[in-house]
Amino acid sequence: MGVAMEETFTALATDQGVRRIVFPGEDLSAGDWPVGERPATGQASRHMAEAEKQLEEYLAGQRQVFTVPVDLVDVTTPFRRRVLQALAQIPYGQTITYAQLAEAAGNPRAVRAVASACASNPLPILYPCHRVIHSDGSFGEYRGGRELKAALLEMERGGAGD
């Protein structure tokens, strides 16, 4: 059971850890990380390789928890960091609403800000914003596309590949 992908995710890292996950088909230069800055050697290279390995294991249905170090330098506000911390607490195979995530991040009235933080999440999958849905059960937008979000949730619930 897993999610078949024609292309793979790309991890960008610093010596401190993974800084960004790039979706298949996403412009590698999108965001604030110039392509020329992608490290190729040293600790950063090891972090990239380990993240990509763990992502492949996850997509194959063989990993539920990520252990690769992360570098949250691009997450510049305390609120967005709290949102990421709350995302990390969502159990594999489960979903919560944006309102529940806002509550978990310490500001129940900040539902739109939570949605914005999810949309700008530099480390999707590692911080599983795909597990957040609207209160009516609809998926809403997802940087990797709604089809990928649906496939990830189905895989986590044990339905993909059956």
**Cβ partners under 8 Å of residue 142, min gap 6:** 129, 130, 148, 149
Mean pLDDT of 75-83: 95
- The confidence score (pLDDT) of residue 162 equals 38
Instruction: Tell whether the model's pLDDT for residue 76 goes beyond 70.
Output: yes
Active site residues: 129
Instruction: Tell whether the model's pLDDT for residue 110 goes beyond 60.
Output: yes
Q: Does residue 91 form part of some domain?
A: yes
Write the CATH number for 137.
1.10.10.10
DSSP symbol at 70: B
Q: Does residue 141 form part of some domain?
A: yes
The parent domain of residue 113 ranges over: 78-156
pLDDT in tens, 4-63: 766 688 899 999 999 999 988 887 665 555 444 554 568 999 999 999 999 999 999 999
Q: Does residue 42 form part of some domain?
A: no
pTM of the predicted structure, to 2 decimals:
0.88
Closest of 121, 23, 11 to residue 68, by C-alpha: 11
pLDDT in tens, 132-161: 999 999 998 898 999 999 999 999 998 644
Q: Does residue 92 form part of some domain?
A: yes
- The confidence score (pLDDT) of residue 26 equals 82
**Cβ partners under 8 Å of residue 131, min gap 6:** 87, 90, 94, 95, 96, 153, 156
Q: How many domains does the chain have?
A: 1
Among all chains, which residue has been given the structure tokens 């940087």? 143
